[in-house]
Chain A
Amino acid sequence: MALDQSFVGRSYPPTAPYEVGREKIREFAEAVGDANPAYTDPEAAKALGHPDVIAPPTFVFAITFKAAGVVVQDPQLGLDYSRVVHGDQKFAYARPVRAGDRLTVTSTIEAIKSLAGNDILDIRGEVHDEAGEHVVTAWTKLVARAAEEA
């Protein structure tokens, strides 16, 4: 069943702050096998002009996708999450995420399309720090594949 177009433009309340820890960044950098010292050594990060270790570019997805859960699981929207695959992902950074950040995410439904029985949902997550400054915007396209014929 096609998703309700009236949800386009709907924004959800900001999430509670996510506190970015040095060790969580280290764990993520190790998981992707990236030895760049800017992720683990505060002195190396400072030498590049950052106040503390920074996170790899895609680190923030864990935070924005969790925030997008309010959209994905909105019973009124009625997305069938068991059929969802990740279509596109994009980030635009005002600055890198860094240790010590307390980040909130505001999720907005940017577009809903129906194509060959697939539901396509575009969600924008605006990420702000504790001072209210914009850090990064994440765009996530989810595709709910058409249900098979019964």
Chain B
Amino acid sequence: MTAKTAYDDVEVGTELPAQTFPVTRATLVQYAGASGDFNPIHWNEKFAKEVGLPDVIAHGMFTMAEAIRVVTDWVGDPGAVVEYGVRFTKPVVVPNDDKGALIEVVGKVAAKLDDNTVRVDLTATSEGQKVLGMSRAVVRLA
């Protein structure tokens, strides 16, 4: 594992570069195929509304996959991720237009741990709503 970020260069409170990830209906269809999750709430507006959702929503696991990119882009080696957990608090609602929705992710170092690892706390929001809670990753630095 070869992380490009050095343990000695980070402190509690160090902010990771923030990123914004767009998600459209086309993104969700592509993710459904790649992940094998064909639940119609992620592509069928009529079905989503019948089960009480405001509209089609993104796969929670899609949002989880995007959020960790703030960490993997920071360390370079995705294999440096030791732990990663989230709570799905609100759905990312994806309207049927060419813009879709945005998932905004910020992260900062919350603790320095043993073996050159740090805990990063992530916050993911869409339309001002927090879509992931308790979102934490432990990553091994150089």
Contact = CB atoms under 8 A, between A and B. Distances in A.
A124 to B, nearest CB: 13
Interface in A6-56: 27-28, 30-34, 36, 38-39, 47-50, 54, 56
B93 to A, nearest CB: 15
B83 A88 contact: no
A87 interface: yes
Interface in B72-90: 72-73, 76-79, 81-88
Nearest to B34: A31
Given A85-B88, A88-B86, A89-B64, A57 B35 contact: no
B10 interface: no
Contacts of A54: 78-79
B21 A33 contact: yes
Contacts of B77: 38, 48-49
B94 interface: no
A38 B4 CA distance: 13
A93 B2 CA distance: 16
B1 interface: yes
B105 to A, nearest CB: 13
B82 A92 contact: yes
B56 to A, nearest CB: 15
A66 B78 contact: no
Interface residues of A, number: 34
Given A58-B64, A61-B61, A31 B81 contact: no
Contacts of B130: none
Interface residues on B, range: 20 to 34
Query: Mostly helix, strand, loop or mixed at chain A's interface?
Result: mixed
Given A86-B88, A93-B83, A62 B37 contact: yes
B134 interface: yes
A96 interface: yes
Interface in A83-142: 85-93, 95-96, 139
A28 B34 CA distance: 5
B73 A36 contact: yes
A70 to B, nearest CB: 16
A30 B27 CA distance: 10
Interface of B: 1-2, 21, 27, 30-31, 33-37, 60-62, 64-66, 68-69, 72-73, 76-79, 81-88, 134
25 contacts: A27-B33, A31-B27, A31-B33, A32-B65, A34-B69, A38-B79, A39-B78, A48-B79, A50-B79, A54-B78, A58-B61, A58-B65, A85-B88, A87-B87, A88-B86, A88-B87, A89-B61, A89-B64, A90-B83, A90-B84, A91-B83, A91-B84, A91-B85, A93-B81, A95-B79
